[in-house]
Amino acid sequence: MKKLVISMLAVSALALTSCGEHDHDLDNVKKVNKEVERIVGQLNDLKEANVDNLSPLGKGSKTDLTAWKKELADNEKLTNDAEEGKAGKMMRGEKTMYLSDKGVETDQLIKKGLIGAYQLNGFNGAIMKGIGATTAEARENALDEGVAYLLGDYSKAKSKTKDEFNAEGNGFGKYMVGYPEIKEGIFTAIEEARANKDNKGKYTAAVVKLTDLANLVVAKRTVKYLGDYVQALRKPFNEEKKEGLTAGNIHEISEGLGFAYSLQYAYNTKEHGKFYLTAEEAKKVTEVDLYAEAKDNSGESTLDNILKKVKEAFNL
């Protein structure tokens, strides 16, 4: 367990890194490349926890992330400006963004895609293991393992107060604390599960609640980035009004696509054995062309459909 927690602390510190001051400079691109390579190399450790056994997409995301890592490495060598059908760079203020030939900022797919591929997937695997456990000790160990995927080592969460329960050094924690009610709900659910480790029914109810709340954080980020910026993307270019194919709109929507991709690992507790995105829907997320989306006002584009599905599924 200790080995796994240490590994998850390293993964969670990178995987959900938010948009910081140096998020898009060349040094950061190189850092992302190295970190993704390191994490992909840790897959054998993750398999020990059976995290790839829950979702059939575990191997698919490894393929996607590896391909994005190579794409980013190739794109960082380009000196030309990005344009439709041609990868290149785009400036966002003093920061450099590297875009694919479809206008997507690849490092955002990597960072937010890791949320699902390794954190939600690992979390759900541990939670399911706890639900199926036959002893109180096994249930508590599974809870510790699951929470470690999301927030680092919270095996001693009972010693923390709600005010201390921030985990802001970890990406999921940073997004979680943006929603105080969800944060409090997650804290309470963990405490309830731990307090009821001897009662399988109450324990299961608490970890189901925990799963729903963790999924809700990712769903809200998806809706925020896609809901707030897609319509702006479709307007005539106006940098001052932040409309059209601006660097800012592209960056935010790329983040939203990464969050949406992660929803293939958001286990739907109301529909046993199902996740909030299917394999086919997740694949479509990776194929979105922002240049085409900017021209599509049909209301039935890939982005429109993803946004509609997530809003309906989570009542957002």
pLDDT tens for the chain, 316 residues: list them. 433 433 443 344 334 333 443 344 445 444 544 444 444 444 333 343 333 444 454 567 777 888 888 898 899 999 999 999 999 999 999 899 999 999 999 989 888 888 888 788 888 888 989 999 999 999 999 998 888 888 766 555 454 566 666 555 456 777 888 898 998 899 899 989 999 999 999 999 999 999 999 999 999 999 999 998 999 999 999 999 999 999 999 999 999 999 999 999 899 998 877 889 887 888 888 899 999 999 998 999 999 999 999 999 999 9
Within 10 angstroms of residue 298's Cβ, the number of other Cβ atoms is 7
Identify each DSSP E strand in the chain by its residue range: 88-92, 95-99, 267-268, 274-275
272 three-class SS: coil
| DSSP 8-class letter at 158 | G
Number of domains in the chain: 1
Domain hosting 281: range is 2-314
* pLDDT of res. 110: 85
Residue 60's pLDDT is 72
Q: Which residues pair with 99 in a beta bridge?
A: 88, 105
Give the per-residue pLDDT at 103: 96
Contact, 102 vs 289, CB < 8 A? Answer: yes
Ramachandran angles phi, psi of 238, nearest 5°: -155, 100
Residue 190, class by beta-carbon neighbours within 10 Å (0-12 exposed, 13-18 middle, 19+ buried)?
A: buried
Query: So what's the pLDDT on residue 59?
Result: 61
